[in-house]
Amino acid sequence: MTRHRYRRRFRLGSLYVWHRYIGIMAALFVVLLSITGIMLNHTDELGLDSNYIDSNRILDWYGIDLPDKHTSFSHKNFRVTLLGHQLYLNYKKVKGEYSSLAGLVVSEGVLVVAVNNGLLLLTDQGEVIENLDTTHGLPAGTKGVGLDQGNGIVVRTSSGDYLADKTLIKWQGLVGKKDVGWSVPSVIPEDLFSEISRDYRGHDLSVERVVLDLHSGRILGEWGPTIMDAAGTIMVLLSISGLWLWVKGIIHRRNHRRKKGHRA
């Protein structure tokens, strides 16, 4: 075998090797694109838009953080916690958005929560019964809530303390000292805080968004789409070069058979 033919065969063999390895790497991206594409075509059936990520690693990767501060109050077996604008009763999310939390008391099976300068009435399952504000006769500027010795509901407002009647419609100003058990903030248990924190962060990140970002490459950051575009371009080039190698191989084998035929 001449040196020229040896070098030519060596280059061709190296091209096959590089073609194979680059093809394997690029194929991984194509598999990812195919799987995520199929998932996105069935978003409703798979519930991608209604399910949320609760993995701390993925949430950290997206930079979804908790609010700097949280507030929590407890009474009997119940605890309310405000994270950002989201209110939780124990582990359950309470419907609505809230800007402040100032206390919790339980009276006759009803949870009375001081929020948004008013009172929120909840069932023991976290269902909203009613929101009380100044339009319901509640004095303005609620800053706290408590119970007197007769289990009556007392609110602390910017204009003083008021005792409610049993219907929570009429409020009587308290004159002089009266024993009131005021609701005060308390430290939330670590396991509860961890659970509601994961829920709070996760509801900012749906499975659909993660799949979309995987499909487009945006999950890798600013250069992600460029990487996915490069992988797609490489697959096109590999397809062309693979076809060229296949055709070249056919021509080479035909020429080889012809030479053998002439020698015979």
The residue ranges of every structural domain in the chain are 11-51+206-263, 67-189
Topology, domain 67-189: Methylamine Dehydrogenase; Chain H (2.130.10)
Residue among 32, 52, 113, 46 nearest 80 (CA) = 113
* Residue, of 8 and 81, whose pLDDT is higher: 81
* Residue, of 111 and 134, whose pLDDT is higher: 111
Candidate from 161-170, 184-193, 219-228, 254-263 with smallest mean pLDDT: 254-263
**Predicted confidence (pLDDT) at residue 173 exceeds the cutoff of 60:** yes
**Predicted confidence (pLDDT) at residue 238 exceeds the cutoff of 80:** no
Cβ distance 233 to 30 under 8 Å?
no
Q: What is the mean pLDDT of the chain?
A: 83
pLDDT for position 256: 63
Q: Residue range 210-235: average pLDDT?
A: 79
pLDDT for position 203: 78
pLDDT for position 6: 45
pLDDT for position 123: 95
pLDDT for position 93: 92
Each as own residue / partner, the long-range contacts of residues 173-181 (CB below 8 Å, 24 or more positions apart, any chain) are 178/148, 178/154, 179/148, 179/149, 180/146, 180/147, 180/148, 180/154, 181/105, 181/146, 181/147, 181/148
pLDDT for position 112: 96
**Predicted confidence (pLDDT) at residue 11 exceeds the cutoff of 70:** no
**pLDDT band at 234, cuts 50/70/90?**
confident
Residue among 156, 164, 152, 153 nearest 140 (CA) = 156
